[in-house]
Amino acid sequence: MTRPSRFTARVALVTGAAQGIGRAVALGFAAEGARLVVADRSPLLEETRAQIAALGAEVEAVTVDLEAFAGAQALAAAATARFGAIDILVNNVGGTIWAKPYEHYAETEIIAEINRSLYPTLWGCRAVLPVMLAQGRGVIVNVSSIATRSIHRLPYAAAKGGVNAITASLAFEYSGRGIRIVATAPGGTEAPARRIPRNGAQRTVAEEAWYQEIVDQTVSSSLMKRYGTLAEQAAPILFLASDEASYITGVTLPVGGGDLG
């Protein structure tokens, strides 16, 4: 259920908006009156931009690599150049690249997982803070994961544990200065197959088995014994970004059907 005026005139910046949760969140903001800046490094971002424009919302699409601070700085600059403010930032970039027991991860794979799922949030927060501090207001919603307690994704779990720490520590530093910092931790989520996969290599028989073990563990750990939907992941993010959550900061909300991560 949307509330058409909940984000009227607010400027919302959503990263990882080309597919999945990021696209669902961006469309939710658009339906509720926000002006959007959407970011991704995938060319599929243009589809998100077009869908937002079709809803009648103002939108700027920025193709950028957020694993580097320069990319996050460029994104913040593009948002302020277009709209003059950043009221909300949703740090949504991340996702498991490989799924296997930790002893099978190569050094380069561990580094790649951290680069993918920790640095975009770290850099994104740093890039928007000067803007939000100058405004005297702002909301940052980080997207973590219940996979901080999981199997076969240890580097990803470490990265998302870092996202939880960023959320808590930033809240201690900046909540008294008008900026709320919160997070959600999605559980297993039903979504269309990624058209541009994080790992394009064909899975081996062993890798297929390891991935199935993740699925089985995720369902087993959920009290509801199922995956969530994109809508069920987007709704808590929109709530936390809204004035309805004005007295909530420094927390990570698990959204995993009762799995607390």
- The number of helix segments (H) and strand segments (E) in the chain equals 8, 9
Strand positions, DSSP E, 2-111? 11-15, 35-40, 59-63, 88-91
H-helix or E-strand spanning residue 109: helix 107-117
Q: How many CB atoms lie within 10 A of CB 69?
A: 14
Question: Which among 156, 211, 227, 247 is annotated as catalytic?
Answer: 156
The span from the CA of 246 to the CA of 248, in Å, is 6
Alpha-carbon gap, residue 151 to 88, rounded angstroms: 33
Q: What is d(CA 173, CA 193) in angstroms, rounded to the nearest whole number?
A: 39
Active site residue 174: no
DSSP states along 177-188: GTEEEEEEEE-S
Active site residues: 156
